Amino acid sequence: MKTFYSPVHLDHDPEVQFEGGQLLPAVEIPVRAEKVRVALQARHIGPIVPPTAFADDTILAVHDAGLVTFLTEAWEAWTKRYGKNAGVAIPSSWPSHDMHADRLGWRRKADIEARLGSYASSTDTPIARGTWAAVREAVNVVLSAAAALKDGEKSVFALTRPPGHHASADVFGGFCYLNNAAIAAAWLVQAGLKPAILDVDYHHGNGTQSIFYQRSDVFFCSLHADPNFAYPHYIGFADERGEGDGEGFNLNLPLPLGTDWARYDEALKFAIGAIKHIGPDVVIVSLGLDTYFEDPIAGMKLKADDYLKMGARLADLHKPVLFVFEGGYCFDALGELAANVLESFQGAA
């Protein structure tokens, strides 16, 4: 299995995240992807290859042009306001429900603080000097993998960082800036294929759902911790089935705190059955590995061997699969978990 990877992700190295009034060590940091890359090489999963460049219109097929422009300009505007040693750009306020929506466009053209609050959903997604370079290169990584799948590869892995599934059309947050999986899906649609997205991250892929919620050309299914107690809290419930043309093309399978492999596998089998019923040409798996029992910001109980079972179960899709790296923050285990999924998928496919 080819893995598409770029060292440009190292440019995005946020020093802190802000939570509950405190500055904490960041968890979405370069070591995540590096641990995975090293493990894949050690396990001989397949060649690690660089991406090729894709045009910006591939991003604009999914994301609002204002968000993209903001992300390209944010660091320069932040340092112009606060100086080169100001630290990472983090929003301090947001427009609330009692503020007039017709003023939002004005805010997005205004001060950097107002623009941050207009586009960011949370304080956990800081913008640093190299953030945009890494975010933009992640798009090249995932689209290079999608192109390889279109050209006949049976399975590929996009080792994307930063992750993407919490980024919606015009909002970034949850460690995510642009939605890599959604961009790949839209590109595959333009290439004449019918993709489905299966999100197995601990957290609901709220951005991906939002992007495709009114569309019937991409089926989205997410297994995740129940938003009654887990981020992103306000979306990801079982009754969200899509709207308009997208009705019936969105499936959420929220799971209880402490879910183990037996419970998880039931949901995964159901998800695979639903995807087979839709009959896609290709499947994009948003591969979050924060379902691991020692993940510091999650609450499920999957063990390392369970990811071997997960890979074998995903082979039941019997479709070409593009794996896209999402969450997972137990650094010591992350490489093994990713390698387990990919290796067992290859062995069972």
Q: Which helix (H) or strand (E) holds 282?
A: strand 282-287
**CA–CA gap between residue 102 and residue 17 (Å, rounded):** 31
| Cis, bond preceding 232 (omega within 30 deg of 0) | yes
In terms of residues, how long is the chain?
349
Q: What is the DSSP letter of 8?
A: G
| Cis, bond preceding 162 (omega within 30 deg of 0) | yes
Helix axes 331-348, 31-42, angle to 10 degrees: 40
Q: What is the DSSP letter of 218?
A: S
Reported as half-sphere exposure (CB side, CA atoms, 13 A), residue 336 has a value of: 9
Joined together, the tokens standing for residue 260 give: 């183990």
Q: Based on the number of CB atoms within 10 Å of its own CB, is 102 exposed (0-12), middle (13-18) or buried (19 or more)? A: exposed
Position 210: which residue type?
S
Query: Looking at the annotation, which residues are catalytic?
Result: 166
Q: Based on the number of CB atoms within 10 Å of its own CB, is 290 exposed (0-12), middle (13-18) or buried (19 or more)? A: buried
As a dihedral over the C-alpha atoms of residue 120, residue 185, residue 302, residue 39, rounded to 10 degrees, the angle is -100
**CA–CA gap between residue 333 and residue 48 (Å, rounded):** 20
- Express the helix, strand and coil content of the chain in percent, nearest 5 each: 40, 15, 45
Q: What is the rounded end-to-end Cα distance, in angstroms, of the chain?
A: 11
Joined together, the tokens standing for residue 192 give: 């004449």
